[in-house]
């Protein structure tokens, strides 16, 4: 028979994992790709580990596996994906997106143009390009997505930026 304490432990562990997953997702800038699939999978695995607490806890190996699973899927993975979501090239692209949006609003437009982005990138000392033409999404340097580099001499790392109206989307590319 399952004791009440293991059910309470499972409920508390599951609630904690959900709280960490939601907090980690909210802390990431909304313009970034938040890796929803990865976050959902890690939350599901954490909840599976929490549900194992309800079962028979007589085996020491099973308790160790549950503890490691809860730690990895409930805390480590959500926190690290949140911390790694914003490296230097992504921060540069987010700053460019903010400035380009401000320039479009100041000019009275309802959409950010490629020229707005180019002007901001140039002012910040970076480089702007396009997705390589051999890829299906390649459209030249006059359409989104644009490839941004904080240092013009550096090929990678880089970030892709696209706008729909005034809404920016930033991802690594």
User: Taking the domains of the chain in order of start, what are their residue ranges?
Assistant: 4-83, 88-172
**% of the chain exceeding 70 in pLDDT:** 84
Q: Is the pTM of this model over 0.75?
A: no
pLDDT at 132: 62
Q: Quick one: pLDDT band at residue 139, thresholds 50, 70, 90?
A: very low
The DSSP code sequence of 86-111 is: --HHHHHHHHHHHHHHHHHHHTT-SS
In this predicted structure, the answer to whether residue 2 has a pLDDT above a threshold of 70 is no
Lowest mean pLDDT among 2-6, 99-103, 116-120, 154-158: 2-6
Q: Quick one: pLDDT band at residue 101, thresholds 50, 70, 90?
A: very high
pLDDT at 99: 92
In this predicted structure, the answer to whether residue 76 has a pLDDT above a threshold of 60 is yes
32 bridge partner residues:
170
Using CA atoms, how far apart are residues 91 and 39, in angstroms rounded to an integer?
21
pLDDT at 3: 54
Mean pLDDT of all residues in 38-60: 78
In this predicted structure, the answer to whether residue 135 has a pLDDT above a threshold of 70 is no
Helix intervals (H) in the chain = 4-27, 36-52, 60-71, 77-83, 88-106, 114-123
Mean pLDDT of all residues in 118-132: 83
Mean pLDDT of all residues in 73-89: 80
**How does the average pLDDT of the chain come out, rounded?**
79
């Amino acid at each position: 028979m399952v004791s009440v304490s293991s059910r309470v432990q499972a409920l508390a562990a599951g609630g904690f994992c959900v709280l960490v997953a939601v907090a980690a997702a909210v802390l990431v800038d909304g313009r970034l790709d938040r890796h929803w699939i990865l976050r959902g999978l890690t939350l599901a695995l954490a909840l599976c580990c929490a549900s194992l607490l309800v079962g028979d806890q007589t085996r020491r190996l099973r308790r160790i596996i549950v503890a490691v699973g809860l730690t990895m899927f409930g805390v480590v993975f959500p926190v690290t994906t949140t911390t790694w979501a914003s490296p230097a090239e992504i921060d540069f692209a987010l700053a460019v997106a903010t400035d380009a949006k401000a320039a479009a609003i100041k000019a009275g437009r309802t959409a950010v143009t490629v020229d707005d982005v180019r002007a901001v990138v140039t002012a910040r000392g970076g480089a702007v390009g396009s997705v390589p033409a051999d890829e299906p999404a390649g459209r030249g340097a006059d359409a989104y997505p644009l490839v941004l580099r904080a240092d013009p001499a550096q090929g990678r790392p880089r970030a892709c930026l696209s706008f729909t109206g005034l809404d920016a989307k930033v991802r690594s590319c």
